[in-house]
Structure 1
Amino acid sequence: MNYVSAATLAFDVIEQGRSLGTGLLESVHQVLVRGTDADTDQAGRIRTTQVAIGSSTGALEDARFVPMPPGIALDVAVQDLTQWMNRPSVSRDPIVAAAMAHYQFETLHPFNDGNGRIGRLLVVLQLMADDLITEPLLIVSPWFEARRTQYQDHLAEVSSSGAWDPWIQFFAEGVAASAVDIAERVDRMLAVQAAYVQILQVAGARGVIRDIADTLISDQVITIAMMSERFGKTPQAVAPAMQKLVDLGILSGPYGTYGRQYIADDVFLAVTAPPGRVPARDDPLQHDTGADPSRM
């Protein structure tokens, strides 16, 4: 939830036409670590202590990589990076630029914690700032996390030998695969939404039933109380509508200890299915996925 809040903050800044800067990075970090073990006096600040990456003991001599020490040089390097990222995109390829910026951010390792998550978020922010994408739908973390060893090896090779080409090719492959994955998910979600509309038309459903169905593209797990508050209806008015959606196969449930939660299984599956296993746009609806209440 912290990551969602931090990403939303950053996306809002970019969508308002404001530039990336050290202040934004620090704000994102502060939100990201809120309430965690990393929520210390270093939260929301460029680190003031030395860190070691890949050390089982925490000692510098055992580390796979030791980033720049804290101090003025690190502060200036982070500022230089954000200024370079804000340069007009006409003079550079946005994917190559994003790959280079991501490497530099992870090499600087400017925070005590959360650098990987912020660095991957920066990829999307930079592509938005460079007008390559207009909506923050791209998610690159799963692809890179699934190839963590290769990812770290490529970054290390750039640092040790200046091997930029293999890193940029690897990075571009990850962005492309992530974009295809997101496109497949969005296509499936839109197809499911269209199927819901057809089901409701055939059933002659209208009013709050249609209103609830329209929300499922963004909220796949809902409750009667949630829908009651959203549409200003009494729970007594919403409950039959929810049951009708269950009867039509659009929702399943109720689940949970108190039987309050309902799931739009087809949209939920489109969002959560592992890469490569997202149902195709024209696949039939699940209707009954046997959703496990224990996952709630």
Structure 2
Amino acid sequence: MDPQLFEHSTTGSLVTITGTDARAREYKHVAFQPYPLGSSEPALTGTTWRAVSEARGALGRLGQAGRQIPDPSLLRQPTLRAEAQSTSALEGTFAPLDDVLAADLAEPEARSASLREVLNYVEAAETAFASLDEGRPLSAVSLCEIHQVLVRGTPAETSDAGRIRRVQVAIGGHGGALHTARFVPPPPGVELEAAVRDLMDWVGSTSRALDPVVAAAMAHYQFETLHPFNDGNGRIGRLLVVLHLVASGALTHPLLTISPWFEHRRGEYQDRLRAVSSDGHWDGWIGFFATGLAESCHQTLRTVEDLLGVQAAYTDQIRAAGLTGGLVRDIADRLIGNPFVTATSVSGLTGKTPQAARNAILRLVEIGVLRERTRRSYARAYEAPDVLDILRRQSSPDRSAPDT
């Protein structure tokens, strides 16, 4: 990390760090220690405030759509799994979206290491959402709980799993060398632990008086700059955005998928965050963040509308085919929440016999709602291609846009 970039920062200060790195090399360098967040919004240009206003409006439209869905929880799993797949890809852990969506059909021991790690994110997010539903505030303790679930069964499950890191880390360095790192977060210790507690206290109290989009952008910057865990900071930091918006009331249902937009702008995302530290350039970061939030809301809203449209089309297909019996309709209605089914999974969800479930699935295959995914007679699985196409588009927005 080049200390000269941060010498005149208005958002933090450089602190001297010494020690021995993972390769037993002694070092003496500097790290960046961010100042606590303030009680008011930074000075922003009119252009940025318009982007913030657009993001607030997009959040409102997404919330309104969520309220109009009879069972919004049905759409939570596919949107959450799309987010899990994309946010993990940002950190270098890749599992195909189809595998993430179909994970429940496979035995746990048959899952790849990457898939297990992505699914850890799903479990961690669900744990966090359930905590909010129970009225528990976001806190440093809840962040540690999220981290513990996120790294379970992975190489990052060390003695520091579920606790604030106790070692110095560097971001973007070669072989962990501090002098080549793009950024060096603050050193471990009581000051780092106190800074994380201060951030979460700010999220739960001071930020309530600020614009929710601006507050979410500020909290995300602070979290990523503190880099409180040995691993998983990017994923937890992006999850914190959605949790913060839900806790503040700006987002009524956690249906938002934000990582695909940022994934395709990884370089600018990193540069905007660093510019806040080096130059106090809140305006550029918040404008970028608000634009991404608005676009992510628009994409999620399109996905919700498309899924509901497919669900309505299935109803028409079933009616036109003259199919009777509630089980066929029940399966079709659930496909927007999980586009993969087996006779066993349908039987477990509905209480019907496996044979009745199999017969209903085959009726849906006959009219083109489902198609067979595997041809193993002992474990036949079926997929809804129309639903899959929509979810794939959600995880790959504006592919034609150049990465920056």
Q: How big is each residue's C-alpha offset from its partner over 1:147-186, in whole Å with a ceiling of 9 and x where there is no partner?
A: 1110111111110110110000000011011100100000
The aligned residue for residue 294 of structure 1 is none
CA contact (8 A) 1:88 1:130 kept: no
In the TM superposition, residue 240 of structure 1 has moved relative to its aligned partner by 1.7
1:181 corresponds to 2:299: yes
The aligned residue for residue 280 of structure 1 is none
1:264 corresponds to 2:381: no
1:220 corresponds to 2:339: yes
The aligned residue for residue 330 of structure 2 is 211
Q: 1:99 to 1:254 in 2, by over 3 A?
A: closer
Coordinate RMSD, CA, aligned: 1.4
Query: Which structure 1 segments of 5+ residues have no match?
Result: 278-296
Which one-letter code corresponds to 1:50 in the other structure? Answer: Q
Q: 1:57 to 1:125 in 2, by over 3 A?
A: same
In the TM superposition, residue 204 of structure 1 has moved relative to its aligned partner by 2.6
Give 1:67-106 correspondences, 5 Å limit: 67-87=185-205, 91-106=209-224
Q: For residues 206 and 275 of structure 2, what CA distance do their matches in structure 1 show?
A: 28
Q: For residues 295 and 353 of structure 2, what CA distance do their matches in structure 1 show?
A: 45
1:24 corresponds to 2:163: no
Bigger shift: residues 15-24 or 75-84: 15-24
In the TM superposition, residue 17 of structure 1 has moved relative to its aligned partner by 2.4
In the TM superposition, residue 63 of structure 1 has moved relative to its aligned partner by 1.1
Give 1:92-131 correspondences, 5 Å limit: 92-131=210-249
In the TM superposition, residue 83 of structure 1 has moved relative to its aligned partner by 0.4
SS in 2 for 1:135: coil
Q: For residues 101 and 223 of structure 1, what CA distance do their matches in structure 2 show?
A: 42
CA contact (8 A) 2:343 2:355 kept: no
Q: How big is each residue's C-alpha offset from its partner over 1:239-274, in whole Å with a ceiling of 9 and x where there is no partner?
A: 221111011111111425456110011112111222
CA contact (8 A) 1:46 1:75 kept: yes
Q: For residues 292 and 366 of structure 2, what CA distance do their matches in structure 1 show?
A: 41
Q: How big is each residue's C-alpha offset from its partner over 1:42-84, in whole Å with a ceiling of 9 and x where there is no partner?
A: 1100001110111012011221111110000000000000000
Q: For residues 376 and 266 of structure 2, what CA distance do their matches in structure 1 show?
A: 37
Q: 1:90 to 1:19 in 2, by over 3 A?
A: closer
In the TM superposition, residue 113 of structure 1 has moved relative to its aligned partner by 0.1
Q: Percent identity?
A: 54
Give 1:129-168 correspondences, 5 Å limit: 129-168=247-286
1:275 corresponds to 2:393: no
Which one-letter code corresponds to 2:210 in the other structure? Answer: R
In the TM superposition, residue 228 of structure 1 has moved relative to its aligned partner by 1.7
1:245 corresponds to 2:245: no
Q: For residues 298 and 223 of structure 2, what CA distance do their matches in structure 1 show?
A: 25
Q: For residues 150 and 28 of structure 1, what CA distance do their matches in structure 2 show?
A: 27
CA contact (8 A) 2:246 2:252 kept: yes
Q: Which structure carries more relative contact order (alpha carbon 8 Å, separation 6+)?
A: 2
Query: Which structure 2 segments of 5+ residues have no match?
Result: 1-118, 400-404
Q: For residues 381 and 224 of structure 2, what CA distance do their matches in structure 1 show?
A: 40
Structure-1-length-normalised TM-score? 0.90
CA contact (8 A) 1:181 1:276 kept: no
Structure-2-length-normalised TM-score? 0.67
The aligned residue for residue 38 of structure 1 is 156
Which one-letter code corresponds to 1:110 in the other structure? Answer: P
Q: For residues 81 and 235 of structure 1, what CA distance do their matches in structure 2 show?
A: 51
The aligned residue for residue 284 of structure 1 is none
SS in 1 for 2:341: strand
CA contact (8 A) 1:22 1:78 kept: yes
SS in 1 for 2:179: helix
Aligned length: 277
Which one-letter code corresponds to 1:275 in the other structure? Answer: P
The aligned residue for residue 350 of structure 2 is 231
Q: For residues 137 and 215 of structure 1, what CA distance do their matches in structure 2 show?
A: 17
SS in 2 for 1:255: coil
Which one-letter code corresponds to 1:25 in the other structure? Answer: L
Q: 1:232 to 1:142 in 2, by over 3 A?
A: same
The aligned residue for residue 130 of structure 2 is 12
